[in-house]
Amino acid sequence: MTHDFGVNQPPKGSEAEWNRFRGISPGLAIGRIGLHWFEEIGEIVRERISPNTASAETMRRVQSLNPDSFWGLFRQKEGGGHLLEGFYGQLLLSEEGQAALVGRTLNRVDPPAECLARAGERPAAAYMWCAVAKKKAALMQATIASELQYLSGIPYYAALATEDGLRIGRNLGMKPVTPEDDRAGGLFRLPPVLPRMQMSGSNSIIRVKVVANAEELDQAKTIRAATFMSEQECPFAEEFDGNDFSAQHIVGYVNDEPAATIRIRYFAAFVKFERYAVLKRFRKTGVKDELLAFAADLVRRKGYTQIYFHAEARLTDFWRERGFTKFPRDAKIRFSDHEYIEIWKALAPHPDPLTMHSDPMVLNRPEGRWEVEGILDKSAVRPQAGVL
């Protein structure tokens, strides 16, 4: 696939432009944004984010310097053409740009060219500039990460402009660059694995976390009972099969209401996803994708690069859209009165996987929150107990 951002770009909304994008499902695709879309993007940014932000011309200039800066989510229209449904914009910074960002001299509304990495260069850092993604934030994130694997390991920064953003950022493990940044409007650095907490299309807060106590495990079991035992009439002994206390569980919340869950079992060379369930009333929210994205990031950080899963045969399209393919063996499986197929997904290696050489205090921290100071970190500063 080629990406021409000069005078030979295909017309806006044309079939030639669509063919440059990466299809993620029938009629939906993600790709680099052509320069002719920026008047529309500028209007969206002013309407949905802030009127005091970068101009369309500035965003067009940034994309001209490095076409990996802006990515769009596009949907085909009936009768031909396609529409822009969402986008993500980032400043890919040179060493000079990173120093200016951290030193507070970078003009983030109109960044100078010398602060930006050019196409083909590995940036020193990235700054999350703007995003409008509706309910497809996790899917966009996963696709862009797959396309931009050369960026793995560079530091990412974001400004948390509001009190709500500050609260959410802290919960996600973002760290202020300086003590003075620990406030609304401050500059924060993102952790290598970012727990998901997103705003859905209906302005609902979506939060995903590893189960850490008995109450949260009960929430996961309740979601599964309502989904599999009630909707699919699965017998109790088959749903709760004896593996729950040897597995890891994740729960996704919508406005703090338990909404979705998945179970993970770890094997030597792969992980097996199981018991993926979303309560019926939450299936049109983004929690279904945020949960899967969180689970994939979690296992990548632990060094795994292969996911294996038994999917209901009728849901093949759903899993294909999320990057899963049929396992080569293609065995037909039947249990609990439903037909299943084997699927799997390859993951890019994490740039900073946990190993025996990782910081020992990091390895002590709660699962999935390795970037957040844990209770044992705090205990380390207590005066040492006397020894008799």
The pLDDT of residue 84 = 93
Between these two residues, 298 and 351, which has the higher pLDDT value?
A: 298
Residue 215 has pLDDT above 90, yes or no: yes
Q: Give me the percent of the chain exceeding a pLDDT of 90.
A: 53
Instruction: Find the DSSP H helices in the chain.
Output: 15-18, 38-48, 56-65, 95-102, 137-147, 163-171, 214-224, 236-239, 287-301, 316-321, 360-364, 375-379
* 367 CB neighbour count, 10 Å cutoff: 14
At 353-375, the pLDDT tens digits run 999 999 999 999 999 888 778 88
Residue 141 has pLDDT above 90, yes or no: no
C-alpha 387/C-alpha 156 separation (Å) is 45
At 278-320, the pLDDT tens digits run 999 999 888 998 899 899 989 999 999 999 999 998 998 899 8
Between these two residues, 206 and 108, which has the higher pLDDT value?
A: 108
In CATH, the number for domain 205-305 is 3.40.630.30
Provide the residue count of the chain: 388
Instruction: Find the DSSP H helices in 162-239.
Output: 163-171, 214-224, 236-239
Same CATH topology for 15-154 and 205-305: the answer is: yes
Residue 386 has pLDDT above 60, yes or no: no
Phi first, then psi: give them for residue 325, nearest 5 degrees.
-130, 165
* 104 CB neighbour count, 10 Å cutoff: 12
The pLDDT of residue 286 = 84
Lowest pLDDT segment from 93-97, 127-131, 201-205 = 201-205
Residue 37 has pLDDT above 50, yes or no: yes
Please state the domain extents for the chain: 15-154, 205-305
The pLDDT of residue 79 = 84
At 129-138, the pLDDT tens digits run 888 876 666 6
CATH 3.40.50.300 fits 15-154, yes or no: no
Give this prediction's pTM. Answer: 0.55
